[in-house]
């Protein structure tokens, strides 16, 4: 509870936290809108495949031309300004950069960027949760070996949910379940970038104004992002994935303690200790009041009569038995909250969540019947969506993680609803992401 004070001390000392960012899309732009207001954070460099687009987004976020006019990283380090380029290798290698923020949204590139940053002795905050979902345990291990910090991004739901789990356990509570909210109906599984705004609740004009990527937002709608983020939460907390995938029970915030308890006690859980997602829509598509769509939650239990009595005495909302309670954060502010990760890593040498195990996986599931020769287009696209699975069963079945189901051709036909397997695709086996993932699989099956 003293991060702001520590930031003030760094600013007063003239010793700002020096950050380099790879990727300047929506999440990154939201952070840049805040970072320009925080004297203790110096964005030394911003790298994007299209530097002009990065500069345009920085202008949109309130940056002056002068603020990002540094001619080089050396100039940026000396002047306090920011250098914008397309050279990520130079950024990760530059001695003026303390923390690298990976925000490309490209899971293959993200793994390469993270590993390169580790090799240069840089701490990394990984915004690209798609990479964390299938390689997080491997990335965390590599960071430890390099003596640096690897962190999930605060503001994204996995870090926020992990924070709630940490709070509950630190208080001495037994955690029953944790997860996030979502707007979900089963037929959303087949949604594509062409249909996403019809379901999302935005007009095409609003989406265009916000420079919103329909493929990225469709990854939320079609269940891919909930599965990706649930895998990240499970692997960062030690919770497990449901054997049969996410349940998506409909309910409002006050319904969560009743929903997220074992089936034997009237809930939806196969057992205690799972991740799941709560839908803000009834099965008929009606909006549920006081929903958790944009937030995160943790359910914990009163496993003694004394604790149960405390719940009753302080009039907290529980399930009908009085045993289960939830704490929640109704909103997540995405990149607007990322400075918490920057401050935590730099000032406390502490990640805001990172994988501690390989419990859960997000497998690529065919959205429709797919033919030989079709190209898989990853999360949010036209061909596959993500399905949460226990890691052991997913790996044993040879499932391709959603994060690697990008720009790879099918060599066998796959039926709608089936998981894509390694035998179904032709994939480049030389990428850092493939090597790290298969190394994790080998380690898991030992």
Tally of domains in the chain: 3
- 372 and 400 share one domain: yes
For residue 284, being part of any structural domain is answered with yes
β-partners of residue 21 are 46, 101
For residue 199, being part of any structural domain is answered with no
- 407 and 341 share one domain: no
For residue 214, being part of any structural domain is answered with no
pTM: 0.96
What stretches in the chain show pLDDT beneath 50? none
Q: Give the structural domain span for 143.
A: 2-155+335-348
- 146 and 13 share one domain: yes
Angstrom distances, CA of residue 337 to CA of 40, 103, 332: 15, 14, 8
Phi and psi at residue 100, to the nearest 5°: -105, 125
In this prediction, residue 446 carries a pLDDT of: 84
Instruction: Report the 10 Å Cβ neighbour count for 6.
Output: 15
Instruction: With CA atoms as reference, report the closest residue to 366 among 356, 354, 355, 378.
Output: 378
355, 132 Cβ separation under 8 angstroms: yes
Domain boundary among 302, 320, 348: 348
- 11 and 124 share one domain: yes
In this prediction, residue 354 carries a pLDDT of: 98
In this prediction, residue 404 carries a pLDDT of: 97
- 127 and 41 share one domain: yes
- 47 and 99 share one domain: yes
- 316 and 339 share one domain: no
d(CA 178, CA 142): 27
For residue 269, being part of any structural domain is answered with yes
d(CA 256, CA 122): 40
In this prediction, residue 268 carries a pLDDT of: 98
In this prediction, residue 81 carries a pLDDT of: 98
Q: What is the pLDDT of residues 248-268, one digit of tens each?
A: 999 999 999 999 999 999 999
- 38 and 126 share one domain: yes
In this prediction, residue 154 carries a pLDDT of: 98
d(CA 307, CA 310): 5
For residue 208, being part of any structural domain is answered with no
CATH code: domain of residue 94? 3.40.50.720
- 179 and 319 share one domain: yes
For residue 209, being part of any structural domain is answered with no
- 175 and 306 share one domain: yes
In this prediction, residue 369 carries a pLDDT of: 97
d(CA 191, CA 347): 42
- 149 and 163 share one domain: no
């Amino acid at each position: 509870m003293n991060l702001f004070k520590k930031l003030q001390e760094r600013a007063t000392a003239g010793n700002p936290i020096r950050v380099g960012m790879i990727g300047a899309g929506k999440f990154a732009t939201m952070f840049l809108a805040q970072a320009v207001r925080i004297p203790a954070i110096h964005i030394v460099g911003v790298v994007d495949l299209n530097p002009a687009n990065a500069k345009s987004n920085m202008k949109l976020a309130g940056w002056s031309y002068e603020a990002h006019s540094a001619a080089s990283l050396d100039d940026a380090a000396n002047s306090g300004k920011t250098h914008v380029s397309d050279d990520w290798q130079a950024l990760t290698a530059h001695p003026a950069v303390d923390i690298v923020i990976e925000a490309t949204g490209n899971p293959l590139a993200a793994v390469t960027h993270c590993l390169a940053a580790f090799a240069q002795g840089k701490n990394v905050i990984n915004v690209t949760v798609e990479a964390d979902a299938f390689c997080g345990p491997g990335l965390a291990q590599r960071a430890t070996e390099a003596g640096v910090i690897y962190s999930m991004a605060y503001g994204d739901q996995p870090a926020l949910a992990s924070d709630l789990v940490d709070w509950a356990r630190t208080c001495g509570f037994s955690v029953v379940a944790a997860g996030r909210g979502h707007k979900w109906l089963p037929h959303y599984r087949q949604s594509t970038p062409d249909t996403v705004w019809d379901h999302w609740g935005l007009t095409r004009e609003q989406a265009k104004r916000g420079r919103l990527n329909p493929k990225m937002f469709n990854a939320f709608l079609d269940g891919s992002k909930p599965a990706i983020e649930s895998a990240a939460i499970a692997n960062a907390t030690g919770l497990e994935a449901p054997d049969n995938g996410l349940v998506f029970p409909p309910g409002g915030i006050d319904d969560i303690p009743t929903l997220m308890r074992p089936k034997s006690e009237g809930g939806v859980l196969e057992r205690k200790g799972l991740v799941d997602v709560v839908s803000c829509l009834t099965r008929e598509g009606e909006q549920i009041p006081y929903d958790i769509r944009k937030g995160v939650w943790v359910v914990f239990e009163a496993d003694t009569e004394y604790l149960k009595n405390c719940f009753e005495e302080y009039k907290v909302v529980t399930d009908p038995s009085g045993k289960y309670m939830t704490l929640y954060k109704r909103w997540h502010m995405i990149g607007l909250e990322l400075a918490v990760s920057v401050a935590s890593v730099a000032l406390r040498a502490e990640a805001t969540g990172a994988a501690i195990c390989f419990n859960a996986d997000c497998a690529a599931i065919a959205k429709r019947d797919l033919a030989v020769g079709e190209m898989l287009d990853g999360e949010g696209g036209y061909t596959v969506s993500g399905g949460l699975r226990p890691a052991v069963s997913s790996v044993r079945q040879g499932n391709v993680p959603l994060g690697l189901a990008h720009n790879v051709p099918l060599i066998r036909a796959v039926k709608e609803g089936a998981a894509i397997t390694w035998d179904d695709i032709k994939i480049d086996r030389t990428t850092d992401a493939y090597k790290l993932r298969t190394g994790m699989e080998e380690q898991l099956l030992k």
